[in-house]
Structure 1
């Protein structure tokens, strides 16, 4: 298979040096995996060009006592303590959450607030099967509607989960972090606020002249952390750029891939925002190195019926830039 033929959303690549194999994790899709159900599948390649048909490594319905079987978004696999840990977002529409009190933007949305968050599962193999550590609840505080949890390990060796707090609860979506126990089975302490989506100063620059700037919602999606050579901390994340006028006069937008920088190198920041890396309805990217040392970014485009796109990247200090899209691998578009 080639990337243009591979349905995928929220791609995450593990470059396994031991087997010189790239593992590309994404939400299970029965049309290519042949297996029904909410879960995670993985494509494999030795050259980022030819990929094996995916195999399913996690199914929510097979987890005894699992709090939900819906979702399966944004799967990531991280090596930690000699094992492999799958982070994936699940949700349960039958478990409504209380509506938070009004904030500076107004009253949060009364519809659509239900239990959503990242669950962690463990395996001895990159090919699974993965078993949920705590089937009773998501890892972040269950009163928060969250998604896209990712693993970050600070310089002291403390593991954290960084996640997006949904705009449905906050109106202006936020990025937050919470410490994890050494075995990743539970959280420790309270969440730490990192930044909000509207901190991205460019989000409304593309609104046509003469059209009044609309208030939120502002969306936070897809955090991934990367340590820069100067010790800074870089976070890839995605949002919607407000650049379209809908037929009813309201403002719409398209998905974009951007990033933020903590020059201090501390997860708590302060975080400063950078301009988008890729537009054109692209996003939920992550960085990895090829086996010959090239820094790469994979993301999906378009948001619906998505396919994987690959970019060669350059990181100078804490400034990240796109060198070129690898259309020879991803088919362009």
Structure 2
């Protein structure tokens, strides 16, 4: 038996969707911005049996102290040792810090642990934390931060780094650069004013890392460009080691890209196994026609000879294999 669907699978606002599969259920977490859900918590949570039919479950995160900021972005959840860990960023404007919160339940409530993962005095803008567990059980955290140098032909902008998690709530302090922007398609904004750095620059953005190990190699998927534009999309780089170096990124978004007149700004995705336990799906957001909300969409992840691709972004009838 299969289930048929058309995108989006959630009509409401669900930016940066991360989906956790836990005990046969799917839990989707989305960027909350400044919005609190009906239970007073941050980050909308949805639950599903099949990736198609979703039910709202309130908000995941108990609001942390107001002095940390009021803008909440890109939650992702990991399970380890009997606890669920929600990684997210909080801040305001061009300053964001990475935090982690814990819960006994996948839907929460999650309580912040009280400390940033990266010192905001050293890195004032860190976003999009992605926990990844390697085959040996070691956890790593991939995330995005700002780079101001242009050495080796790299662009100034937001790019990807990673660090080992010494514990689920503390980084080891072994940050490694994963990928820097060097292609024109990743331009976020030309001559962007960055007053806290004292510069105006053509600013490029790599964000939303998502790591998948396939056939012995590590694929770091990421979203590039500005989420407001049709240039926004998903690409990847490859490594033989989780620590890198990662190479082979594209001069265009090869996994997901806009379809003029039909789909705008698909990206910031997660990857999850379908109900059959074999088929992989990319869960991503894309703008509605009025560009009022970013809606949650799903399509199959395909491992082609030339590299990973998505069977989308689709607008016609699709199916989920049960």
Figure out how many residues of one structure are paired with residues of the other and give that number: 281
1:270 aligns with 2:251: no
Give 1:196 deviation, angstroms. 0.4
1:251-303 deviation line (CA, Å, top 9, x unaligned): x76321222211x1332223221342111211101111111121100111127
Matches within 5 A, 1:111-130: 112=94, 114=95, 116-130=96-110
- Which residue pairs with 1:287 in the alignment? 271
1:295-320 deviation line (CA, Å, top 9, x unaligned): 10011112751001111111247820
Distance 1:92 1:32, change over 3 A: closer
Q: Distance in 2 between matches of 1:288 and 1:328?
A: 20
Matches within 5 A, 1:146-161: 146-161=126-141
Distance 1:193 1:67, change over 3 A: farther
Q: Is contact 2:176–2:243 with CA below 8 Å preserved after alignment?
A: no
Q: Distance in 1 between matches of 2:176 and 2:279?
A: 33
Q: Distance in 1 between matches of 2:34 and 2:205?
A: 29
Q: Structure 1 segments of 4 or more deviating over 6 A? A: 29-32
Distance 1:84 1:241, change over 3 A: closer
- Which residue pairs with 2:295 in the alignment? 307
Q: Distance in 2 between matches of 1:71 and 1:327?
A: 34
Matches within 5 A, 1:1-333: 3-16=9-22, 18=23, 20-28=24-32, 33-36=37-40, 39-60=42-63, 63=64, 68-92=68-92, 112=94, 114=95, 116-133=96-113, 135-136=114-115, 138-142=116-120, 143-144=122-123, 145-166=125-146, 171-182=156-167, 184-198=168-182, 200=183, 203=186, 216-228=202-214, 230-240=215-225, 254-262=231-239, 264-274=240-250, 275-276=252-253, 277-280=255-258, 281-292=265-276, 293-302=278-287, 305-316=293-304, 319-324=307-312, 325=314, 327-328=316-317
Q: Can you give the 5+ residue segments of structure 2 that lack an aligned partner in the other structure?
A: 1-7, 150-154, 188-200, 259-264
Q: Distance in 1 between matches of 2:14 and 2:266?
A: 13
* TM score, norm. by length of structure 2: 0.76
Instruction: Mark the structure with the bigger radius of gyration.
Output: 1
Q: Is contact 2:62–2:112 with CA below 8 Å preserved after alignment?
A: no
